[in-house]
Amino acid sequence: MIDDVHLTHGLAGDELEPDWPPLVGPEVGVVLEHYPQLGGMLGLAWRSPRPLSAAALVDTRKGRVFVKRHHRSVRTPAQLEEEHRFAIHLREAGLPVPRILPDTDGNTVVRQGQWVYEVHTPARGKDIYRDAFSWSPIGGVKHAQAAGAMLARLHDAASTYVAPQRSTDILVARAEILSDPDPVAAIASQLLHRPALDAYLSRQDWKVQVADAIAPWHAQAWEGITQQAPLWTHGDWHVSNLCWSGEEDDAGITDVLDFGLSARTFALFDLATAIERNAIAWLEVARGDIARADLALALIQGYRSVRTLTADDMALLADVLPLVHIDFALSEVEYFEGITRRPDHADVAYHTFLRGHAAWFAGPYGRAFLDALRHAA
């Protein structure tokens, strides 16, 4: 059983009181009434430290399940079902993805007041990166190779999935802004239907700041981006979303988790996201030398063992990498400004994440890192 104290991962690599109340036994018990095949709840075994939702491993009379809860302002039932359809397709295509359990009516989303819930079978293997913060590097080169190869397998499986773009901008890793010939104009055109983002940006000199953030790379990347085939992608390929056969260097991946950020983008966008998430220690950005080129190249090597990457692909990958966070950073700004009402967190998403990451790539360490990727072509 777990105790009553529950903290979540903060934006600065710290632990904070959660924005969303943690899951508790009576609440989960009501949800599991929709799943009589589980025989009823015995207790909560673990609660996730991830901050953007509430989740727990739950013991039932028929075994353990994973229960995740979202507020309707973040995910409507229809928006959550978009993720589920993609995950189900990948599982049916042979990718190791935990099963999403249907309730007695055959639905994969349970509606309960202001909340929506999903229930999964528990991931197989060991969750060895369970407590790792986002943007903390992979434990070793062989894990990076395995992660790259599995990402390529996911892209192969996703190539037969056809669905429209996500119906929300909130906390999804989309690529419309970086794919537009004029990203600043693209943002401006979205503000009418994104009032919280509009409210936040109205307090910033955002047109100049965003233009400065993307200027070194967007012009040379845009033509290549336009030639990329659309593909539904994971959007958050960090090792904390993978389970492993063990803690050894040569461990294999047993399950792929969390499609919450998934969206219709393109393959190199997802690979660049994987490099940004796993090979750069952003929480230590103040020291400058935070990139692990060996881990990035191992991710690429693993990916190449399954899917071909041409010299042009590698050049575009390096050009896209400093831009890949732009759309998601703005979605976080919108979330913190309009939903959790945390302008301090919105400042971190905008100034530290969106602008700060771009500034690092423009500096000497970032440019050396990108040169290492280009040389790998």
Q: What is the pTM of this model?
A: 0.94
Greatest Cα-to-Cα distance within the chain, rounded to the nearest angstrom = 58
**CB of 9 within 8 A of CB of 19?**
no
Cα 23 from Cα 20, distance rounded (Å): 9
Cα 358 from Cα 207, distance rounded (Å): 15
Q: Is the pLDDT of residue 261 over 50?
A: yes
**CB of 341 within 8 A of CB of 301?**
no
Distances (CA, A) of 209 to 199, 212, 214: 16, 5, 9
- Residues 13-37 have a mean pLDDT of 85
**CB of 148 within 8 A of CB of 303?**
yes
Confidence band for 2, pLDDT divided at 50, 70 and 90: low
Q: Is the pLDDT of residue 301 over 60?
A: yes
Confidence band for 15, pLDDT divided at 50, 70 and 90: low
Confidence band for 131, pLDDT divided at 50, 70 and 90: confident
pLDDT digit string (tens) for 170-223? 999 999 999 999 999 999 999 999 999 999 999 999 999 999 999 889 999 999
Which residues are within 8 A (CB) of 227 and not within 5 positions of it... i.e. 6 or more apart?
Answer: none
Distances (CA, A) of 283 to 50, 250, 274, 325, 370: 16, 27, 16, 15, 19
Q: How far is CA 12 from the centre of its chain?
A: 17
Amino acid letter for position 76: T
Cα 68 from Cα 53, distance rounded (Å): 7
3 or 45: which carries more pLDDT confidence? 45
Q: Is the pLDDT of residue 18 over 60?
A: yes
Count of other CB atoms within 10 angstroms of residue 17: 11
Cα 47 from Cα 57, distance rounded (Å): 6
- In the chain, the domains with their CATH numbers are 8-120 (3.30.200.20), 141-375 (3.90.1200)
Q: Look at residue 4 in the predicted model and tell me its pLDDT.
A: 55
Which residues are within 8 A (CB) of 292 and not within 5 positions of it... i.e. 6 or more apart?
Answer: 137, 279, 280, 281
Q: Look at residue 1 in the predicted model and tell me its pLDDT.
A: 47
Q: Is the pLDDT of residue 11 over 70?
A: no
For 158-174, the DSSP string reads HTT---PPPS--TT---
Q: Is the pLDDT of residue 343 over 50?
A: yes
Range with lowest mean pLDDT among 12-16, 74-78, 155-159, 315-319: 12-16
Cα 303 from Cα 166, distance rounded (Å): 26
